[in-house]
Homo-oligomer: A and B are copies of this chain.
Amino acid sequence: MSAASFARLPAPPYYAVIFSSRRGADDQGYEQTAARMVELAAEQPGFLGAESARGADGFGITVSYWASEAAIAAWRAQAEHRVAQESGWARWYEHYEIRVARVERAHGKAG
């Protein structure tokens, strides 16, 4: 998954995990662990895609999309057990907010 491309999603309904964060000064290991988290997500049943943007000021938004709430819960358990707890994932962020939402409508313009 590229960090800067559009997810190709089915028609709604599906679920979104909206992760807003501000990075702190501690960069050690961040890129590798972030990449591993994305790999783990993509391997999960029910993962539909993800989109991510981060500005030069360190504030970023990643939205991952899922077929069901159960798929989100399974991924979260995996991520926490395999990656986050080992690496102290939260220390990279001064502040983060996670919002879980049910996508009900979608439209867009491409090209």
Contact = CB atoms under 8 A, between A and B. Distances in A.
A103 B99 contact: yes
Contact of A53 (B55, B94, B100, B101): B55
Interface in A61-111: 61, 63, 90, 93-111
Size band of the A side of the interface?
Answer: 35 or more
B57 A20 contact: no
Contacts of A4: 22, 55, 57-59
Q: Which of A56, A101, A102 has the most chain B CB atoms inside 10 A of its CB?
A: A101
Contacts of A97: 6-7, 106-108
Interface of A: 3-7, 12, 16, 18, 20, 22, 51-61, 63, 90, 93-111
